[in-house]
Amino acid sequence: MASHSSKRAIHAAIGGNLAISIMKFIAAAFTGSSAMLSEGIHSLVDTGNSGLLLLGIHRSRKAADAAHPFGHGKELYFWSLIVAVLIFGVGGGISTYEGILHMLHPAPLQDSTWSYVVLGLAVVFEGVVLVIALREFRKQTEKGESLWRAVRSSKDPATFTVLFEDAAALLGLLAAFAGIFLSHRLDLPWEDGATSIVIGLILGSTAGFLAYESKGLLVGEGADPKTLEAIRRHHPEIKHIYIEAGAIAADSRRSASRA
From first to last of its 259 residues, what are the pLDDT tens digits of the chain?
Answer: 455 667 788 888 888 889 889 988 988 888 888 878 888 888 888 888 888 888 888 888 888 877 777 777 788 888 888 888 888 888 888 888 888 988 888 877 677 788 888 889 889 988 888 888 888 888 777 777 777 777 777 777 877 888 888 888 899 889 988 888 888 788 888 888 888 899 899 989 988 988 888 887 777 655 556 666 666 676 666 665 554 444 444 444 444 334 4
* Cα–Cα dist 171/135, whole Å: 19
Say what the pTM is. Answer: 0.72
Co-location of 145 and 18 in the same domain: yes
Co-location of 144 and 97 in the same domain: yes
Co-location of 237 and 166 in the same domain: no
Co-location of 84 and 167 in the same domain: yes
Co-location of 176 and 230 in the same domain: no
Co-location of 137 and 239 in the same domain: no
The confidence score (pLDDT) of residue 215 equals: 82
CATH at residue 124: 1.20.1510.10
**Count of residues for the chain?**
259
* Cα–Cα dist 228/1, whole Å: 19
Contact 194, 60 (CB under 8 A): no
- How many independent structural domains does the chain possess? 2
Closest CA to 131 of 23, 1, 12: 12
The confidence score (pLDDT) of residue 258 equals: 40
The confidence score (pLDDT) of residue 252 equals: 41
The confidence score (pLDDT) of residue 53 equals: 87
Co-location of 55 and 80 in the same domain: yes
* Cα–Cα dist 111/209, whole Å: 36
Give residue 233's domain range: 222-259
Co-location of 30 and 88 in the same domain: yes
**Amino acid letter for position 24:** K
Q: How many CA atoms lie within 13 A of 3 on its CB side?
A: 13
Co-location of 230 and 127 in the same domain: no
**Amino acid letter for position 65:** D
